[in-house]
């Protein structure tokens, strides 16, 4: 028991280290947003003059869009193919993930069209609103940032390369490993950029509030409120109904069972430590170890319901705010693109922003200049995204277990009713979360992807 106790302590320490690092960034972004809004309200002209700061931050994100999309999709195609070879479990999981991602994206579009977030902001690109004065220092700094690479050709090339490497079998493994190493560099670069988010948020919020006043604050509040409400309804109505129809289990009972994990995610701004806990709890709830080992790690990379809702709602917010609303055809095209690109929205802080930028760049590149406002409020929506993603993966694990007859229903009812509580002392990182079930070739990769998915995707 003492060794188990030591295992429990070892899992808690990384969470505390993550708490310090992540919350400094979180607090800095909040302070930057408040300061930027104050300057925009009290000194509108000063606020508008700070717009280049937000523009430069968005340019940095645009710089890494193509590398992120290329690396994640090339590796993602390999993970999908390997998961599908597992048989019924992998195939069902991937099919379910694709369907639910599409549903979540569609819900985001529907809600966005109903509430029309961003109406009345009249955001404009930096070049169009910079006035006659052109600061040579600002121009020099902006020209230092490399230009962005076209997204759609990158996406097509990534898919073709991914499938080509799959067809090569073992001969393609060295290339896949090289792409994984490049991905680490790109992710490191993205994390470095995200530490500049407070500056970007400060400049963007100051500029938009300086130009539109309280209307900007009201529009951002409406978007955040609508997003939180949409995620809550998605969990309770959509996921809850499917869970009840397929397994007869109650979504509120499941959420109560996972309450400690919710608090962990919310407190640390990271779902990393919740991955092994989710795997352990799903096994305790009656799902077989092989199903848990395949579904949970793969879901952490491919089943991001909260992120999907965020992507489409934010895209509509920006297009409306800039006075460039998307027609039905463009919205459907955006949805199709996001279904594919959202599979790369995991694994690094800010990848959700990069995926959103990729979707906008693929349809209307001018909309990228409106992303500064989203940067300012992104952190406020991050926990909700992570909690929705986490709940979606828990529900998916129970559903896949039921469909494959690998779920002990008596055990599940007893656990969720509280009759068979989870023993925290039995949780050991060596047994849960480090590797999926034997025979799943892509398991370690999926688990590794899951282990680095922060809440801010």
Q: What is the pLDDT of residue 86?
A: 54
What is the structure's pLDDT at 244? Answer: 94
* Distance in angstroms (rounded) separating the CA atoms of residues 309 and 232: 11
Question: In whole angstroms, what is the distance from residue 48 CA to residue 209 CA?
Answer: 8
The pLDDT of residue 238: 94
Distance CA 392, CA 97 (A): 9
pLDDT attached to residue 350:
59
pTM assigned to the model: 0.74
How far, in Å, CA of 235 to CA of 427, rounded? 27
Tell me phi and psi for residue 287, to 5 degrees: -85, 135
pLDDT of residue 14: 43
pLDDT value of residue 243: 94
Residue spans of the chain under pLDDT 70: 1-23, 78-88, 120, 122-135, 138, 147-148, 267-273, 341-351, 425-457
Asked if residues 173 and 1 have their Cβ atoms less than 8 Å apart, the reply is no
Residue of 400, 398, 392 whose CA lies nearest to 457: 392
pLDDT for 302 = 76
**Is 287 strand, coil or helix?**
strand
* pLDDT at residue number 245: 95
Q: What is the pLDDT of residue 233?
A: 93
CA torsion sign, 218 to 222 to 389 to 158? Answer: negative
Residue 268: the pLDDT is 60
Q: What is the pLDDT of residue 272?
A: 60
Residue 128 pLDDT: 42
């Amino acid at each position: 028991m003492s060794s188990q106790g030591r295992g429990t302590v070892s899992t808690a320490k990384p969470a505390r280290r993550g708490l310090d690092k992540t919350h400094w960034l979180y607090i800095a972004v909040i302070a930057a947003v408040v300061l930027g809004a104050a300057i925009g309200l009290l000194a509108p002209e000063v606020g508008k003059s700070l717009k280049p700061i937000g523009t430069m931050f968005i340019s940095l994100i645009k710089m890494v869009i193509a590398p992120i999309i290329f690396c994640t999709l090339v590796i993602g195609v390999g993970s999908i193919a390997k998961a599908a070879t597992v048989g019924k479990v992998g195939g069902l999981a991937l099919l379910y993930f694709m369907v639910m991602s599409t549903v979540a994206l569609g819900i985001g579009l529907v809600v966005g069209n109903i509430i029309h977030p961003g109406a009345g902001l009249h955001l404009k690109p930096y070049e169009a609103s910079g006035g006659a004065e052109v600061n040579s220092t600002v121009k020099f700094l902006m020209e230092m940032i490399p230009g962005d690479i076209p997204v759609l050709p990158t996406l097509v090339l990534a898919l073709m390369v991914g499938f080509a490497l799959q067809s090569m079998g073992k001969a393609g493994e060295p290339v896949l490993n090289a792409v994984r190493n490049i991905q680490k560099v790109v992710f490191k670069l993205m994390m470095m950029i995200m530490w500049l988010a407070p500056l970007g948020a400060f400049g963007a919020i100051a500029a938009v509030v300086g130009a539109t006043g309280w209307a900007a604050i009201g529009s951002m509040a409406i978007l955040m409120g609508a997003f939180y409400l949409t995620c809550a309804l998605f969990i309770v109505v959509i996921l809850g109904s499917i869970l009840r129809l397929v397994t007869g289990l109650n979504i509120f009972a499941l959420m109560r069972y996972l309450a400690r994990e919710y608090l962990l995610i919310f407190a640390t701004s990271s779902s990393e430590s919740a991955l092994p806990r989710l795997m352990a709890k799903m096994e305790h709830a009656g799902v077989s170890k092989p199903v848990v080992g395949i579904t949970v790690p793969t879901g952490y990379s491919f089943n991001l319901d909260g992120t999907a809702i965020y992507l489409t709602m934010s895209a509509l917010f920006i297009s409306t705010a800039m006075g460039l609303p998307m027609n039905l055809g463009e919205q459907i095209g955006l949805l199709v693109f996001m279904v594919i690109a959202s599979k790369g929205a995991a694994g690094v802080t800010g990848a959700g922003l990069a995926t959103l930028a990729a979707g906008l760049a693929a349809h209307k590149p001018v909309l990228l200049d409106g992303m500064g406002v989203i940067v300012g409020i992104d952190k406020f929506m991050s926990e909700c995204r992570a909690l929705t993603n986490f709940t979606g993966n828990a529900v998916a694990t129970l559903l896949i277990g039921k469909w494959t007859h690998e779920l002990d229903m008596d055990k599940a009812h007893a656990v969720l009713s509280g009759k068979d509580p989870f023993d925290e002392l039995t949780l050991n990182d060596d047994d849960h979360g480090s590797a999926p079930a034997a025979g799943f070739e892509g398991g370690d990769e999926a688990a590794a992807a899951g282990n680095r998915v922060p809440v801010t995707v």
